Amino acid sequence: MLYGPWSNVVRNNIRIYIICLICLVLVAATKSERYVKDNQFNSSSPRLHVKVDPKFKYLRSLDYTIEQQSPDNLRLVSYETKSYVFADVLNNQLKKAMYIQIRREQTKYVGNLLGDAKANLKSGLCSRGGEEYICFTRIIFLSLNEPIAKFISGQGYGLPACVMARTYARVDSTMGNYLVVMTYLENLPHSGLSCESWLVENQLTTEHEQYIELFDRNCKASFTIIKEESDKPGIRRLLGG
């Protein structure tokens, strides 16, 4: 048995070793795991489980970099982004798509999640899976300069000229700061509702309004968020979105 100064050194070394071991365990426990299985997206950090309608085929995840204004609007910031992409196709033509995007944020305060408010047909706060999201609906003209559109086209699927898209966005700060974005989009019908007809400000017809209602129902049916009960590990309950 060691006595005197050497015993103190040994005790200190043991304490340091134990502290390092605890830190390694904590880092491993908080390491994020994200994957798709049986058309369900799963993320451990932030905690998110999304069951996508089986009509949608999971393509794969896509890594890319986007540039956006910083929250103070003083500079452009590059974000390493990963999206998990699902597609509903007919005769190799895209009908509908759904993608889930998660990226790390430096703070829990992000820039304008609504983008160009004038481009939104609908916007506001909405609830999915017991969480509150900023959400908006708009018409998007697809371009191969956009990573998701380029990726889907690269899988051999034809793209429509434009789509209607609904986006849900929120910042999750429970285990770090993550921006969570879920976007559903679908091809517009060919007759009566051309891409250009949606661009006439404040002149949406009854037919346009009826289609938005149908689109909202399609969006709601496309995916369900599965909420984990924190007090009952392993037991999950479906929440109506």
Same domain, 99 and 214: yes
Q: Using CA atoms, how far apart are residues 133 and 122, in angstroms rounded to an integer?
A: 14
Who contacts 216 (Cβ-Cβ below 8 Å, separation ≥6)? 137, 166
112: left (phi over 0), alpha (psi -120 to 50) or beta: beta
For residue range 198-222, what is the model confidence (pLDDT) as tens digits? 887 767 888 999 999 999 999 999 9
Same domain, 19 and 111: no
- SS3 labels along 143-204: CCCCHHHHHHHHCCCECCCEEEEEEEEEEECECECEEEEEEEEEECCCCCCCCHHHCCCCCC
Same domain, 98 and 148: yes
Higher pLDDT, 235 or 38: 38
Per-residue confidence band for 103, with pLDDT thresholds at 50, 70 and 90: confident
Q: In this structure, what token pair is assigned to residue 94?
A: 């895209």
H helix or E strand, kind and range, residue 79: strand 76-90
pLDDT over 70 at 85, yes or no: yes
Q: In this structure, what token pair is assigned to residue 186?
A: 């679908």
**Cβ neighbours of 176 (radius 10 Å):** 13
pLDDT over 70 at 133, yes or no: yes
pLDDT of residue 57: 97
Q: In this structure, what token pair is assigned to residue 113?
A: 């999640």
Q: What percent of the chain has pLDDT over 90?
A: 46
pTM of the model: 0.77
Q: Using CA atoms, how far apart are residues 163 and 142, in angstroms rounded to an integer?
A: 7
Q: Using CA atoms, how far apart are residues 137 and 98, in angstroms rounded to an integer?
A: 14
DSSP string, 94-152: EEEEEEEEEEE-SSS--S-TT-SGGGEEEEEEEEETTEEEEEEEEEEE--TTSHHHHHH
Per-residue confidence band for 90, with pLDDT thresholds at 50, 70 and 90: very high
Question: What average pLDDT score do residues 120-139 get?
Answer: 90
Question: How are beta strands 131-141 and 178-187 bridged, if at all?
Answer: unpaired
Q: What mean pLDDT is reported for the chain? A: 79
Same domain, 150 and 208: yes
Same domain, 18 and 38: no
pLDDT of residue 113: 62
Whether the Cβ atoms of residue 125 and residue 131 lie closer than 8 Å to each other? no
Same domain, 103 and 17: no
Same domain, 89 and 153: yes
Who contacts 62 (Cβ-Cβ below 8 Å, separation ≥6)? 82, 83, 84, 85, 147, 148, 151
Same domain, 1 and 120: no
Same domain, 224 and 160: yes
Same domain, 13 and 65: no
Question: What average pLDDT score do residues 121-136 get?
Answer: 90
| Radius of gyration of the chain measured on its C-alpha atoms | 23
pLDDT over 70 at 70, yes or no: no
Cis previous bond, 54, omega within 30: no
pLDDT of residue 198: 87
Same domain, 70 and 84: yes
Question: What average pLDDT score do residues 93-105 get?
Answer: 91
For residue range 150-203, what is the model confidence (pLDDT) as tens digits? 999 999 999 999 999 999 999 887 777 888 999 999 998 766 688 888 887 767
Structural domain harbouring 91: 32-238
As for how many domains the chain has, the answer is 2
For residue range 12-53, what is the model confidence (pLDDT) as tens digits? 555 555 544 443 434 333 456 999 999 999 998 889 999 999
pLDDT of residue 235: 33
Same domain, 130 and 164: yes
